[in-house]
Amino acid sequence: MKAFRDTWLVYARAMTLNLKQPVWLVVMLIQPLYFLIFFAPLLNGLDGAPGFEAGAMETFVPGLIIMMALFGSTFVGFGLIAELRAGVIERMRVTPVSRAALLIGRTLATVTTTLIQALLLVVLAAPIGGLTIYWPGVFLMFGIIILTSFMLGALSYGVAIVLKSEDTLAPVLNTFVQPIMLLSGIMLPMALAPAWLQSVADFNPFYYAVEAARSLFEGDMGANAIWQAAAYIGALAVLLVWWATRKFARAVA
Amino acid sequence: MLIETKGLKKTFKSRGKEVEAVRGVDLAVKEGEVFGLLGPNGAGKTTTMRMLSTLIEPTDGVARVCGHDLAKNQAAVRRDIGYVGQEGGTWGEVTARDELVLQGRLYGMSKKRAAARAVEVLGAFQLEEYADRNVKTYSGGQKRRLDIALGIMHEPKLLFLDEPTTGLDPQSRAHMWDEVRALRERGTAIFLTTHYLDEADALCDRLAIIDHGEIVAEGTPLDLKKEVAGDVVAIGVTDGAAAAVELLGGKDFVREIEAGAPDPATGVALLRMYVDDGAAALPELLRSLDGKDIAPASIELHRPSLDDVFLKQTGRSLREEH
């Protein structure tokens, strides 16, 4: 009970901070919109080609939404470093607040903003890409967004608390997030990949997330990728939240 | 006793090497007193405080804080203590009121109780005017007052203050001293670290001097200074330092004498001695030097300060470190 209350308190503080800077909500949307306007049209000629059987936009837009969740959540650790330096985390660690709440409250705030961004992107992308939205599928896709954002937010906060410096955090996160993005088939479907690249992608949980998002957008609710994405990313989320909570409990700022 | 420690130790691993930050500290802090931990940077002050406030785990040793075992009952310790770190505890786009209410709620207060207590605390620290402004617009002194306000939101029995006046201008510093005294009047015990001699002297009921992770002296400022018997005379000479040490050291009223290294800029070496009665000793000391044609470049006579205590225990001056 106490842990839930504490999580809510930490969440409410993080959300208040987010809402005071609504400009970030928009800034994070700009990158996917660039892709949608300046890159997606290049794919139009591939409509119906291998990998694009469902249509070019129908293939690209779901991946774009996963990409936004990927980048939006991976870099939240930067905000934590400023708070670490200012002694905010230390101040809270001296109170009887639940250690898990310190991490989970913040991570849930990241999930919330990512969901709002994803919803805005779906609404904006549909008319631009000429898509019809299949809402039941989109809602299930939001489930995958929640897991993705939860896992990556926790990871980012955990890494931030270990590294304690923006200068090292940026390259570390980039080194990790770039191959994950490329190996997930966001830009071009993995169906185009040679066998070895496909085999590597099979180990990338975000490959399944992108595939699942595409199936759900189409309305194919029975695709294997859906439960695979939920299982892999869900398991990783549990593991990383556990790890990051330990880092929060022992942080030496 | 609010704090009792025995053999408290902390060893950090840094690039494969073990660094002993605190090497067996025994401390006792009583209810309602202001207790200071005085020492140079890197002496282990902050590490000791972070162990006692549950932020880091001791490598060895035992401690009781507010009656609770530090190793076994951290939750109970946390409820009874307040802590104000060196960096403070707020940042950016948050208001003092929001932070205070949250702080109260993290200690289990209801929303209503926390809001009422926040109003009380804002008043006590003259922060009402800025209560709903973002913290990033605060001056150094205002921010420091908010830091302390956050630390006492839940009316702790014991408040830890890590270097409370470092980086403050003289006026804010004087205010901070007043705040500490006012808290003590209201019955809150305070454990503070400082590297300022005047702060330790003026503010603390009792203090411990720490150097290289070990306590080298403990007592009231007055008692500690009394241990350095007599007055302190410092005479600066450009040459003949060795002869002067021999000459003055032979006087029966000079208890101890030592020569410092010559100042690289001026070439003046400081002879520092403890004498029974400084006023009577000065003419005699000067006459003796004159007899050997040693001309003093400077003369200083003062009652022993905490710096003399530190110097006597460690062979170094705390003043020179800063």
Q: In which domain, by residue range, is A133 found? A: 2-250
What is the average pLDDT across B139-157?
94
**Token output for A32:** 């996917």
Contacts of B91 in chain A (CB under 8 A): 82-83, 85-88
Terminus-to-terminus CA distance in chain B, angstroms?
Answer: 34
- Whether residue A207 is predicted with pLDDT greater than 90 in this model: the reply is yes
pLDDT of residue A21: 84
> A77-85 and A135-163 are packed helices; what angle lies between their axes, rounded to 10 degrees?
40
Considering only the beta carbons, identify the residue of B75, B93, B106 that sits closest to A20: B93
CA angle, corner B184, sides to B86 and B169, nearest 5?
40
Q: How far is A250 from chain B (nearest CA, A)?
A: 7
Residue count of chain A: 253
> A224-250 and A205-218 are packed helices; what angle lies between their axes, rounded to 10 degrees?
130
Q: Is the Cβ of B13 closer than 8 Å to some Cβ of chain A? A: no
Hey, of A5, A94, A252, which one would you mutate to test binding to chain B, going by the most B CBs within 10 A of its CB? A94
Considering only the beta carbons, identify the residue of A12, A93, A96 that sits closest to B79: A96
Contacts of B95 in chain A (CB under 8 A): none
**Token output for A212:** 């699942």
The enclosing H or E element of B19 equals: strand B17-29
On whether the CB atoms of residues B259 and B269 are closer than 8 A, the answer is yes
pLDDT tens, B51-102? Answer: 999 999 999 999 999 999 999 999 999 999 999 999 889 988 999 999 999 9
- Whether residue A241 is predicted with pLDDT greater than 70 in this model: the reply is yes
For A:14-43, CB contacts with B below 8 A are: 16-17, 20-21
pLDDT of residue B61: 95
The string of DSSP letters for B46-87 reads: HHHHHHHTTSS--SEEEEEETTEETTT-HHHHHHHEEEE-TT
CA dihedral B134, B136, B138, B139 (to 10 degrees): 180
- Pick the closest to residue B26 from B203, B210, B252, B167 (CA basis): B210
Q: Is the Cβ of B59 closer than 8 Å to some Cβ of chain A? A: no
Q: Is the Cβ of B19 closer than 8 Å to some Cβ of chain A? A: no
pLDDT tens, B255-271? Answer: 888 888 888 888 888 88
Contacts of B54 in chain A (CB under 8 A): 93-94
Handedness of CA B311, B314, B315, B319 (dihedral sign): negative
pLDDT of residue A251: 65
From residue B78, alpha-carbon distances to A98, B51, B126 in Å are 12, 12, 27
Q: What is the DSSP letter of A41?
A: G
pLDDT tens, A75-103? Answer: 999 999 999 999 999 999 999 999 999 99
What is the average pLDDT across B224-241?
83
Hey, of B91, B101, B132, which one would you mutate to test binding to chain A, going by the most A CBs within 10 A of its CB? B91
How many separate domains does chain A show?
Answer: 1
The enclosing H or E element of B174 equals: helix B170-185
Contacts of B53 in chain A (CB under 8 A): 94
- Pick the closest to residue B269 from B301, B296, B288 (CA basis): B296
**Token output for A74:** 């991976």
Structural domains present in chain B: 3-220 (3.40.50.300), 229-303 (3.30.70.260)
CB spacing of A95 vs B75 below 8 angstroms: no
- Pick the closest to residue A32 from A108, A109, A128, A152 (CA basis): A128
Report pTM.
0.86
pLDDT of residue A180: 92
- Whether residue B312 is predicted with pLDDT greater than 50 in this model: the reply is yes
CA angle, corner B121, sides to B115 and B122, nearest 5?
85
* B108 phi/psi in degrees, rounded to 5: 95, 5
* B212 phi/psi in degrees, rounded to 5: 50, 40
Considering only the beta carbons, identify the residue of A21, A90, A95 that sits closest to B106: A95
Q: Is the Cβ of B107 closer than 8 Å to some Cβ of chain A? A: yes
Hey, of B83, B106, B143, which one would you mutate to test binding to chain A, going by the most A CBs within 10 A of its CB? B106
What is the average pLDDT across B222-227?
84
ipTM of this predicted complex?
0.89
- Whether residue A253 is predicted with pLDDT greater than 60 in this model: the reply is no
